[in-house]
């Protein structure tokens, strides 16, 4: 059965990702994993082993990302802490740098190696190279057509293949972008996990002999966001990817919200299990933040770009997390404002239904007309979930 691989940006997202349907998660500590994470209970050198154990307890695998392009200073730092990575016993290490590869082989012998999409692997000879070097899995470049994936599988049957099926895309080839480095004076390096996403900015045109005279880029049916890619969504093409021989479907988004991880995992899990049709799955994914969806290079001539909006849009607002039950009410953490009488949708790993907010109270049991963003309040619903743990609320 094909693996569904979700991002674990922190410990809470790891747990929700698996509960909502992931077979495996990928995780990392900030200095080595191409994502600078700031929210929630972050995964660190100290708790990495516990994170891997938690994934295993939940029945999932955990892959450690060490996929930066490493400078000398990075290699020195990695040498100083690689014993902690080894002690965590991840199911595999995702890497792209030959220096990192050498250290993993030396200090983590026997650990499975997954070759990162950062290596721009586009052809079967490259996959053979990595296989012969000892890789168990190769994560293919996003720029491949499904026919090329099938050809790679035909030529190299004895290595696992992974591809991205959902999430944000980079304007640069497999993420190799220097715009962030340039605009931040070298302080926000894209390939060190700290991209400021200048491809999402709106630009004006200036002619160099006329400084200070700025011109709007002409707005046509493509708009003026000339660098901003749409998000990838292949929920309607999963059978073809399976037929092409893909072993693992990867979701992008370690910096995305808890709601994003949960809702996307649930949707793809249900489509893969035949509980939702592909069209129904696509409608569900429209409720999650996106910049418009595209099938990218896998099923077209090239990656589509969204020339109309640069910020993510969602068909549903993430309203709350349910934390615990007290009598017939639930303590919730408000993410977006809710009022008494609002109709909301509750999703859990096993349920999805609409209900009404009957009552909102503060911690001293005073009635409230609404719950504001970041409030922790008690809410009574007209219909409550059978199992509140991991339950989330949305509107849309």
- Domains along the chain with CATH numbers: 3-173+228-294 (3.20.20.70), 317-395 (2.40.30.10)
Which tokens is 231 given? 């998000």
Provide the pLDDT for residue 211. Answer: 81
Which tens digit of pLDDT belongs to each residue from 329-368? 999 999 999 999 999 999 999 999 999 999 999 999 999 9
Q: How many whole angstroms separate alpha carbon 382 and alpha carbon 395?
A: 15
Which tens digit of pLDDT belongs to each residue from 31-54? 675 555 555 678 999 999 999 999
Residue that wins the pLDDT comparison between 12 and 190: 12
**Banded model confidence at residue 287, pLDDT cuts 50, 70, 90:** very high
Q: How many residues does the chain have?
A: 396
Q: How many whole angstroms separate alpha carbon 130 and alpha carbon 121?
A: 9
Provide the pLDDT for residue 210. Answer: 80
Provide the pLDDT for residue 304. Answer: 56
Instruction: Please report, for residues 219, 379, 384, the alpha-carbon distance to residue 357 in angstroms, rounded to integers and kept in the order given.
Output: 43, 7, 10
Instruction: Please report, for residues 4, 131, 140, the alpha-carbon distance to residue 62 in angstroms, rounded to integers and kept in the order given.
Output: 12, 21, 19
Provide the pLDDT for residue 223. Answer: 47
Which tens digit of pLDDT belongs to each residue from 112-139? 999 999 999 999 999 999 999 999 999 9
Which tens digit of pLDDT belongs to each residue from 207-263? 778 887 776 655 454 445 556 778 899 999 999 999 999 999 999 988 889 999 999
Instruction: Please report, for residues 138, 148, 216, 288, the alpha-carbon distance to residue 123 in angstroms, rounded to integers and kept in the order given.
Output: 11, 7, 41, 33
Cβ proximity of 381 and 358 under 8 Å: yes
List of residues 6+ apart from 151 with CB closer than 8 A: 124
What is the pLDDT averaged over residues 27-32? 80
H-helix or E-strand spanning residue 377: strand 376-381
Which tens digit of pLDDT belongs to each residue from 47-86? 999 999 999 999 999 999 999 889 999 999 999 999 999 9
Kindly report the pTM of this predicted structure.
Answer: 0.89
Which tokens is 99 given? 């220096």
| Percent of the chain surpassing pLDDT 70 | 85
**Banded model confidence at residue 107, pLDDT cuts 50, 70, 90:** very high
Which tens digit of pLDDT belongs to each residue from 295-316? 988 887 554 555 455 556 677 8
């Amino acid at each position: 059965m094909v693996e569904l691989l979700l991002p674990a940006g922190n410990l809470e997202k790891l747990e929700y990702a698996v509960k909502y349907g992931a077979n495996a998660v990928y995780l990392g500590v900030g200095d080595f994993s191409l994502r600078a994470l700031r929210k929630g209970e972050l995964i660190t050198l100290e708790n990495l082993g516990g994170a891997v154990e938690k994934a295993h307890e939940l029945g999932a695998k955990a892959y450690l990302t060490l996929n930066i392009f490493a400078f000398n200073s990075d290699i020195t730092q990695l040498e100083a802490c690689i014993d902690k990575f080894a002690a965590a016993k991840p199911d595999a290490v995702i890497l792209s740098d030959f220096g990192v590869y050498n250290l993993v082989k030396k200090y983590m012998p026997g650990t499975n190696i997954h070759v990162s999409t950062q290596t721009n692997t586009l052809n079967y000879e490259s996959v053979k190279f990595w296989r012969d070097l000892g890789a168990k899995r190769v994560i293919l470049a996003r720029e491949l057509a499904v026919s090329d994936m099938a050809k790679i599988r035909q030529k190299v049957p004895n290595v696992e293949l992974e591809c991205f099926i959902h999430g944000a895309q980079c304007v640069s080839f497999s993420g190799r972008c220097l715009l962030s480095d340039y605009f931040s004076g070298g302080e926000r390096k894209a390939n060190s996990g700290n991209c400021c996403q200048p491809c999402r900015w709106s630009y004006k045109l200036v002619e160099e002999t006329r400084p200070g005279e700025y011109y709007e880029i002409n707005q046509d049916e493509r708009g003026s966001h000339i660098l901003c890619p749409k998000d990838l969504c292949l929920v309607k093409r999963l059978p073809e990817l399976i037929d092409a021989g893909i072993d693992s479907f990867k979701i992008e988004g370690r910096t995305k919200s808890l709601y994003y991880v949960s809702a996307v995992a649930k949707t793809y899990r249900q489509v893969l299990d035949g509980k939702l049709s592909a069209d129904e799955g696509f409608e569900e994914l429209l409720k999650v933040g996106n910049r418009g969806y595209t099938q990218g290079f896998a099923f077209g001539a090239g990656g589509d770009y969204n020339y109309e909006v640069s910020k993510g849009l969602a068909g549903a607002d993430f309203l709350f997390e349910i934390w615990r039950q007290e009598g017939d009410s639930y303590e919730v953490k408000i993410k977006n404002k809710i009022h008494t009488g609002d109709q909301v949708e509750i999703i859990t790993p096993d349920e999805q239904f609409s209900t009404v907010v009957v009552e909102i109270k503060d911690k001293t049991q005073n009635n409230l007309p609404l719950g504001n963003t970041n409030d922790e309040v008690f809410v009574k619903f007209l219909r409550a979930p059978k199992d509140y743990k991991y339950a989330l609320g949305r509107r849309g």
